[in-house]
Structure 1
Amino acid sequence: MREQTIKKSVELVGIGLHKGVPVTMKLEPLPTGSGIHFFRSDVGVNIELKPDNVVDTTMATVIAKDSHKVSTIEHLLSAVYAYGIDNLRIVLDNEEVPIMDGSSIGYCMLLEEAGIIEQDSTKKILKVKSPIEIKDGDKFVRLEPSDECVFDFSIHFPHPAIGTQKYKFEFSTKNYKEEIARARTFGFLSEVQYMRSIGLALGGSLDNAIVLDDTTILNKEGLRYKEEFVRHKILDAIGDMSLLGMPLLGAYISYAGSHKLNHLLTKKLLEEEAYEIVEIPQEYKLYDYELAKENA
């Protein structure tokens, strides 16, 4: 199995969820071995995707170089990871990735429009060797050795529309598009005033998030999946794990995980060297590249 990039550059315009400002985003192919990079064209700054560049995890994952940030990267990166793209330049003319509809399905469509091509280098994978865990009270995120890539997530919210939800996702591109990609971010009306007072959720609306009052969902169209809330948590977790810089082979298990705990987990995995880097056998069907190739 070879490294991948996109076949051609693609572009879209949207708004940022937290800052609410218009942003143009362009995806560009990069040579093999380059990795994922964000480029702020408005300030001329390149930011490499890696855990050490994370500067904030309050309601979103934020990376930065010097004082220049790129925020809310997790939904886009979740789709990039799901489509097996190793080398990519993400060009933005502002500090936040467009929110689209609050899920990652729009990014999936953009990647399929761009197409995917194989490159010369053999694809590597980060295989979990020993269990590691980050805890915060009863909340936790954990990685365990496994011969499959699995995301097993549980949440509980004392809200009649959510309650306790569990979902176990067995990773493949096809499964991701069908089971995870359409799950939207969510928030509570009671928290909106506070979030906006600290400069967050300024671009949030019923068009790009599930919004709940004290008892019900305010979106007239309802939910896209029965367990949409926990499925979106898996979407976020996949995006956050992409900061490791290569595909993950192991079981991710969480109760009430967050961007902060995910970030600490990636750092602990690397610091404790609880992994080995191996080549992916050609017959190992982690990605269904035909999804993008057929639409290229």
Structure 2
Amino acid sequence: MPFPRFFSSIRNHVSHSKISWKSTGTVQKTLAAEISRSGTALHSGARTTAKLFPAMAGDGRFFVSGDCRTRILATVDFVTESALCTTLSRDGARVRTVEHLLSALEAIGVDNCGIEIVGGDEVPLLDGSASEWVEVIKEVGLCDAKDCSGNNMDKLAPFLHEHVHVWRKDSFIAAFPSSKVHITYGINFPKVPAIGCQWFSCFAMDASVYVKEIASSRTFCIYEEADKLLKAGLIQGGSMENAIVCSASTGWLNPPLRYDDEACRHKVLDLIGDLSLFARSGNQGLPVAHIIAYKGGHSLHTELVRLLSDSH
């Protein structure tokens, strides 16, 4: 499909009127208690711990990292270009592979949350999905977040009024006005027949759909590319226990899959985590829109967030 021609009538620009923030009818939430999880970090291979703790209304989500305990807001303003993960950095401190944790927090509605990373600069990968984050959040539950005066704050969501898009070659992400959050995602690995071309759609995306259809999908790797990535200093902590691995010649090396289209569903998981970086001050990050992506990745996801951020 000639994607540039498909988008020829869509301006690669967002005016200030294309986003409006409206009440969700709920107040901002935070964790009811502190939680933590430890595990292997995907790229460094270090054993790290993520400690999650309640935050005040309006604080939003933020990381505490580095020897100086630098506070890094989980917003696109602090995204640093990196390979195969989303990285946030500020004043020499950084935290990598934030997308799975942020995906769970956004989808389950943890609007305000502090996250301290201990033992390294990377969120532990756990089983390669977001399911354990969802489980531990549900164990402690949520409560209304309070501001410094002890008051609740209304939770707002960004509504899209006009279509927007970003693309690179034959990869794109487009968002169209919608009354609810819909996500459609396509991937295409023609040289890996066991994956091939897959599409997955969820209408409409909410916490229950996320838990049932998205959260347990694991990150995936092409076996023939693993050696090159290892030599580049990446996926040092990757294993058959925290990723599903597919060979171009023999198919999946560690079945069974949790879904036939698990690889495609995981891209939706990543997308939600990356779009959560649109959040500000404890409000919803995921735009209320129909979001359609094809052959996207973290860099393209965050490019769309930057485009949306220019509109308000």
Structure-2 residue corresponding to 1:194? 228
Within the alignment, does 1:204 sit opposite 2:230 as a pair?
Answer: no
Structure-2 residue corresponding to 1:238? 272
**In structure 1, C-alpha distance between the alignment counterparts of 2:37 and 2:76, rounded to whole Å:** 26
Amino acid at match of 2:253: L
Amino acid at match of 2:31: I
Structure-1 residue corresponding to 2:295? 256
Gaps of 5+ in 2: 1-25, 146-151
Structure 1 segments (4+ residues) deviating >2 Å = none
Question: 1:42·1:92 contact (CA, 8 Å) conserved in 2?
Answer: no
Aligned pairs for 1:120-199 (under 5 A) are 120-158=152-190, 159-169=192-202, 170-199=204-233
Gaps of 5+ in 1: 274-296
Root-mean-square deviation (Å): 1.1
If the length of structure 2 is used for normalisation, what is the TM-score?
A: 0.85
**In structure 2, C-alpha distance between the alignment counterparts of 1:174 and 1:236, rounded to whole Å:** 17
SS at match of 2:52: strand
Question: 1:23·1:92 contact (CA, 8 Å) conserved in 2?
Answer: yes
Q: Please identify, of 223-232 and 36-45, the stretch whose mean Cα deviation from structure 2 is larger.
A: 36-45
Question: 1:10·1:113 contact (CA, 8 Å) conserved in 2?
Answer: no
**In structure 2, C-alpha distance between the alignment counterparts of 1:194 and 1:66, rounded to whole Å:** 31
Structure 1 residue 196: deviation in Å?
A: 1.4
Within the alignment, does 1:218 sit opposite 2:244 as a pair?
Answer: no
Structure-2 residue corresponding to 1:91? 116
Match of 2:126 among 69, 82, 100: 100
Structure 1 residue 226: deviation in Å?
A: 1.3
Structure 1 residue 164: deviation in Å?
A: 1.1
Q: How many residues align?
A: 272
**In structure 2, C-alpha distance between the alignment counterparts of 1:125 and 1:40, rounded to whole Å:** 28
**In structure 2, C-alpha distance between the alignment counterparts of 1:154 and 1:162, rounded to whole Å:** 11
**In structure 2, C-alpha distance between the alignment counterparts of 1:114 and 1:29, rounded to whole Å:** 11
**In structure 2, C-alpha distance between the alignment counterparts of 1:40 and 1:271, rounded to whole Å:** 27
**In structure 2, C-alpha distance between the alignment counterparts of 1:255 and 1:11, rounded to whole Å:** 34
Structure-1 residue corresponding to 2:34? 9
SS at match of 2:105: helix
Question: 2:72·2:89 contact (CA, 8 Å) conserved in 1?
Answer: yes
Question: 1:143·1:251 contact (CA, 8 Å) conserved in 2?
Answer: yes
Question: 1:41·1:91 contact (CA, 8 Å) conserved in 2?
Answer: no
Q: Please identify, of 114-123 and 30-39, the stretch whose mean Cα deviation from structure 2 is larger.
A: 114-123
If the length of structure 1 is used for normalisation, what is the TM-score?
A: 0.89
Within the alignment, does 1:65 sit opposite 2:100 as a pair?
Answer: no
**In structure 1, C-alpha distance between the alignment counterparts of 2:47 and 2:68, rounded to whole Å:** 16
SS at match of 1:148: coil
Structure-1 residue corresponding to 2:138? 112
Structure-2 residue corresponding to 1:288? none
Q: Please identify, of 118-127 and 227-236, the stretch whose mean Cα deviation from structure 2 is larger.
A: 118-127
Question: 1:39·1:92 contact (CA, 8 Å) conserved in 2?
Answer: yes
Partner deviation per Cα, 1:226-284 (whole Å, 9 max, x = no partner)? 110110000000000000013221111111111010111000111134xxxxxxxxxxx
**In structure 2, C-alpha distance between the alignment counterparts of 1:127 and 1:106, rounded to whole Å:** 30
**In structure 2, C-alpha distance between the alignment counterparts of 1:89 and 1:114, rounded to whole Å:** 15
Structure 1 residue 118: deviation in Å?
A: 2.0
Amino acid at match of 1:211: V
Structure-2 residue corresponding to 1:280? none
Amino acid at match of 1:142: A
Question: 2:57·2:112 contact (CA, 8 Å) conserved in 1?
Answer: yes
Amino acid at match of 2:308: L
Identity of aligned residues (%): 34
